[in-house]
Structure 1
């Protein structure tokens, strides 16, 4: 009887071990499900907060942008009038007028960003040479002397169908950010090239035009990098955090992508990819 009793004990022990293994496995599975539910709830809360922010911003833009723009127009007209009175103006007054003019320009940009983000703007596409658009945008920007601009533009880049105003605004936002990221100077490199997009099949399929803006500035901390395209997210003392959000919106309306890479104290690279063979759509 003793051997039979030992066998039963061993069998019970094995069953207990198996039950414990199943409990552990079930517990791990339950923990994963709880963790996923918690992540889903957190994401839902973030999306809800984001939607409420956007709704408030939309009401704000439509409610006050028109009035603000009228006021800014009066202020800028007055600044211009006073600046023409050169004989009666001393250097101190001139400096203050220049400060007022710069601040009015910044304020006007905030109003424009609010309006751009709140309204649907269907791209009015035409054939555009992006190298020329890059040069035109650089010509508009005041770049301090300590910053060296390097152009690596593909001379064989094909023209593509884009809305030049929207894409130029994207370029201007990225170039302005790059300049601001290098207060002590550095190198700003603009690169264009034609590339084969992911999932391409056959010759000429899924080809993209790639435009990158690389700076050697302060960089973006890892905790902020994943949020830089969120509306109203900013770490700057000025602005309301819409520049990159609008840039992403415009690029995606062109069926393109925009990505950012960055290292603190080493610099950032923003890369835009736009379809090279996208057909021109009617805007009527």
Structure 2
């Protein structure tokens, strides 16, 4: 392989953003990880100064670049907040001088998202938690369902022997509660059905969810920010509707059916899920401007029967996570008062492109 092509291929496949600025503080090189980080393309970014590329961080970065270009000294900053649109992430930033002889000709900026490490840690933890929860639920569901059937049968026989309508009201309560528990157990077992995958457009799934919720919450406002260039996804249409309906309904309930729910789709590059690096990943964000998730719930919100709602069963997020896991994906969230966002990541590299 030609050395120049080899170096270019190495830079193109790095997970960290690499940028090259000349002495006039104009961008001269940007790798694919940098395009993803800045949410832009090489064609738009080349020739631009830091202030236009990095928003509020641009002036600070420009000062550091000037220092390196003038002194030839590298600079390292850790845990720097970088805001791109509505997303803020923490990054490590390294500026390295590029010499031509004794003169500093340019500066290389390498940006490493801190969330890469926390993402891998959360992914690993979620994988083990989900496996333990699934095993527990399967065992518990079967242990409950068998005696529950016997209990319901005995209540039916007892009701036939009773002449008093008042006494039969008690057996009716037993039957109704047995049916309710049976439905609950069925919901616990439902996510374990393998997905029946087909080629689908994720926006058709999200629009179906939006229509269902619009009928349920007429005062709810939706803001849809879809990427029309997304490829088709191999997935189970019904299961994905269940995933996003559970998440979107939680968002609607968080704003009491009268706030705003945002539906957003994007592409992520080179994301590791369950120990495997995926070249292309679909990201679906469902966000609301409600009060946020109580801090004491933490990561336990994905456990069954854990809920912040008095009337909730605590199964919605658990079922959604199990179904996403069946699709080889992952659910993450961030929350603060006025801004809660659940992000669903679904691998795309094996999915066909839109014809």
**Cα offset, 1:110, TM superposition:** 7.6
Q: Decide whether the 8 Å contact of 1:113 with 1:246 is kept in 2.
A: no
What is the match of residue 183 of structure 1? 256
Q: Tell me how far apart the structure 1 counterparts of residues 136 and 285 of structure 2 sit (CA, whole Å).
A: 33
**Cα offset, 1:261, TM superposition:** 0.8
2:194 to 122, 134, 157: 122
What CA RMSD, in Å, does the superposition of the two structures yield over aligned residues? 3.4
Q: Decide whether the 8 Å contact of 2:301 with 2:317 is kept in 1.
A: yes
Which structure has more strand as a fraction of its residues? Answer: 2
1:223 to 284, 288, 296: 296
Cα distance change on mapping 1:245 and 1:135 into 2, 3 Å: same
User: 1:103-144 deviations in whole A, cap 9, x for unaligned?
Assistant: x9xx99985553142253111100010001100111122353
Cα distance change on mapping 1:139 and 1:146 into 2, 3 Å: closer
Higher relative contact order (CA 8 A, sep 6+): 1
Q: Tell me how far apart the structure 2 counterparts of residues 272 and 127 of structure 1 sit (CA, whole Å).
A: 18
Q: Tell me how far apart the structure 1 counterparts of residues 194 and 137 of structure 2 sit (CA, whole Å).
A: 23
Q: Decide whether the 8 Å contact of 2:281 with 2:348 is kept in 1.
A: yes
**Cα offset, 1:242, TM superposition:** 1.0
Q: Decide whether the 8 Å contact of 1:58 with 1:118 is kept in 2.
A: no
Q: Structure 1: state its 5+ residue gaps.
A: 1-46, 69-103
Q: Tell me how far apart the structure 2 counterparts of residues 214 and 132 of structure 1 sit (CA, whole Å).
A: 18
Cα distance change on mapping 1:52 and 1:219 into 2, 3 Å: same
**1:163-242 mapped onto 2 (5 Å cutoff):** 163-183=236-256, 185-198=258-271, 206-242=279-315
1:138 to 196, 206, 210: 210
Cα distance change on mapping 1:51 and 1:277 into 2, 3 Å: closer
**Cα offset, 1:206, TM superposition:** 2.0
Which structure has more helix as a fraction of its residues? Answer: 1
Cα distance change on mapping 1:221 and 1:229 into 2, 3 Å: same
Bigger radius of gyration among the two: 1
Query: Secondary structure of the equivalent of 1:206?
Result: strand
1:60 to 107, 124, 144: 144
Which has the higher mean CA deviation after the structures are superposed, 183-192 or 157-166? 183-192
**1:1-284 mapped onto 2 (5 Å cutoff):** 55-61=139-145, 64=148, 112=183, 114-118=185-189, 120-141=192-213, 142-183=215-256, 185-198=258-271, 206-263=279-336, 265-278=337-350
Q: Decide whether the 8 Å contact of 2:141 with 2:188 is kept in 1.
A: no
**Cα offset, 1:278, TM superposition:** 3.0
4+ runs deviating over 6 angstroms: 47-51, 65-68, 107-110
Q: Tell me how far apart the structure 2 counterparts of residues 182 and 198 of structure 1 sit (CA, whole Å).
A: 31
Q: Structure 2: state its 5+ residue gaps.
A: 1-130, 153-175
